[in-house]
Amino acid sequence: QQQVKQSPQSLIVQKGGISIINCAYENTAFDYFPWYQQFPGKGPALLIAIRPDVSEKKEGRFTISFNKSAKQFSLHIMDSQPGDSATYFCAAISPYFGNEKLTFGTGTRLTIIP
Amino acid sequence: DGGITQSPKYLFRKEGQNVTLSCEQNLNHDAMYWYRQDPGQGLRLIYYSQIVNDFQKGDIAEGYSVSREKKESFPLTVTSAQKNPTAFYLCASSIAQGAGELFFGEGSRLTVL
């Protein structure tokens, strides 16, 4: 129940295209869903996050879509650029689940090609 | 600038040796974490601490030890009991336990020869 399943494991998108990464969860007590971006040799950094009371959140070229009934959420990167090449992690947390720590997906390595 | 500082960035160790990775934060955060990252396995939690002098095991604590004597510091010792210690280790902090935003350091890459 604590798992967050992320797909695909790797993704190649042409410059200017849309990158889409999907995550699914089981624990309905999760109430905060962040996405982290990690460049090679660096630590992850928070990119964008959503709570389940909204179905979409947009920040610049990055959008999270959230489907509460399906227990799925996804990251869309519009007009993908080579600088977006990184590993992306979805995550989830519930402050009511007991030990209150983030559960991470396994990551998606995104490569944007010219 | 506030942030998390991890050292060393690269470390080589012979089998059978213990090694300690340093993590210092000046964000005045209460909670600190250690993660291990291996290719294709995402981020796995080793230990976390909600407050000074208190810490809990994460999902893969065997072969590791930590201490939290100061709010700013959360060192991780990789002991000789850890069977496969070669990995990228990440330290993180959050304002409090249960916060969804973690601030990560730049990591320490440990290679066992």
Break chain B down into helix, strand, coil percent, rounded to 5.
Answer: 0, 50, 50
Do residue A43 and residue B106 have CB atoms under 8 angstroms apart? yes
Nearest to B100 among A41, A93, A107 (CB): A93
Q: What mean pLDDT is reported for chain A?
A: 92
Report pLDDT for B95: 85
**pLDDT confidence bin for A100, thresholds 50/70/90:** low
Size of interface A-B (CB pairs under 8 A): 52
Mutate to test the interface with B, among A6, A30, A100 (most CBs of B within 10 A): A100
C-alpha to C-alpha distance for A95 and A102, rounded to whole angstroms: 10
Least confident of A80-94, B54-68, B91-105: B91-105
Question: Ranked by mean pLDDT, which of A5-19, A29-43, B33-47 comes out on top?
Answer: A5-19
**Long-range pairs, A51-60, Cβ under 8 A, ≥24:** none
> Is the separation of the CB atoms in A73 and A6 below 8 Å?
no
In sequence order, what are the residues at sequence separation of 6 or more whose Cβ sits closer than 8 angstroms to the Cβ of residue A41?
A: B106, B107
Q: Where are the beta strands (DSSP E) in A3-81?
A: 4-7, 10-14, 19-25, 33-38, 45-50, 56-59, 62-67, 72-77
User: Which backbone phi and psi does B40 adopt, to 5 degrees?
Assistant: 75, 0
C-alpha to C-alpha distance for B27 and B5, rounded to whole angstroms: 11
> Is the separation of the CB atoms in B91 and B78 below 8 Å?
no
Helix (H) / strand (E) element for B56: namely strand B54-57
**What is the rounded (10 degree) CA torsion for B97, B99, B100, B104?**
-70
Structure tokens at A103: 């559960």
Residue B101 forms contact with A (CB below 8 Å): yes
Q: Please give the average per-residue pLDDT across A59-88, as a whole number.
A: 97
**Which residues 38-97 on chain B approach chain A with CB closer than 8 angstroms?**
40-43, 45, 48, 56, 58, 90, 92, 97
Nearest to A104 among B42, B48, B56 (CB): B42
Closest-CA distance of chain B to residue A95, Å: 5
